[in-house]
């Protein structure tokens, strides 16, 4: 086994570990009660709104509530999208390094073939985890499963997967000079 193969195997172990660790982080967030989760995102929302709207205190209570509700919704759904975007990145890197770990030289044709197979696998993995995450929330106080969250989570994962795949592809083109 040469150095490149060993390094790729080390990277594969690293990305596999990061994938599992990030799944644990998502699980921990989902295990928070509805009140704890709302307080955390509510505090973040208030800080962001206060920063964006310097004269927020001068608005009517109805307008303040409307702004806070809208911002809170966007921040919560953005957090879903982002956490699964990160999971998508880690999962596709795990699969890419697994596929590449025993192959020193790749042709562009082989890279494209592998990517076309592993992108759907990575997306399916993330989507299934999103479903299990929503089921888990159904057993948590004041939390409820939502199909829209699964769709947002899966969209975030897809964006992370596609971004990472594109970067890998561009890196490979630059490295190979084709």
What is the model's pLDDT at position 108?
Answer: 54
- Cβ contacts of 129 within 8 Å, gap of 6 or more: 23, 26, 87
pTM recorded for the entire structure: 0.88
Please give the residue range of the domain that contains residue 76. 3-176
Token digits of residue 93: 């890197």
Domains of the chain: total: 1
What is the model's pLDDT at position 83?
Answer: 97
Give the number of other Cβ atoms within 10 Å of residue 173's Cβ: 12
- In terms of Cα–Cα distance, which of 98, 100, 149 is closest to 126? 149
**Residue predicted with more confidence, 39 or 131:** 131
- Cβ contacts of 140 within 8 Å, gap of 6 or more: 30, 31, 32, 33, 34
* Mean pLDDT taken over the chain: 88
pLDDT tens-digit readout, 91-122? 999 998 888 765 555 555 566 777 888 999 99
Contact call for residues 145 and 134 (beta carbons, < 8 A): yes
Backbone angles phi, psi at 7, to 5 degrees: -65, -40
- Cβ contacts of 56 within 8 Å, gap of 6 or more: 49, 50, 64, 67
Average pLDDT over residues 14-41: 93
Q: How confident is the model at residue 1 (pLDDT cuts 50, 70, 90)?
A: low
What is the model's pLDDT at position 171?
Answer: 79
């Amino acid at each position: 086994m040469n150095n490149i193969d060993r390094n790729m195997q080390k990277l594969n172990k690293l990305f596999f570990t990061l994938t599992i660790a990030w799944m644990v982080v998502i699980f921990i967030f989902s295990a928070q009660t509805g009140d704890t989760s709302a307080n955390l995102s509510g505090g973040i929302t208030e800080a962001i709104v206060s920063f964006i709207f310097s004269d927020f205190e001068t608005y009517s209570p109805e307008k303040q509530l409307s702004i806070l509700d809208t911002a809170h919704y966007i921040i919560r759904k953005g957090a879903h999208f982002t956490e699964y975007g990160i999971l998508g990145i880690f999962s596709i890197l795990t699969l890419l390094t697994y596929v590449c770990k025993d192959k020193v030289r790749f042709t562009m044709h082989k890279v494209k073939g592998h990517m076309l197979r592993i992108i759907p696998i990575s997306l399916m993995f993330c989507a299934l985890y999103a479903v299990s995450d929503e089921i888990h929330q159904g057993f948590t106080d004041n939390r409820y499963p939502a199909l829209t969250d699964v769709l947002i989570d899966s969209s975030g994962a897809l964006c992370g997967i596609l971004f990472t795949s594109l970067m890998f592809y561009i890196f490979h083109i630059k490295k190979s000079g084709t």
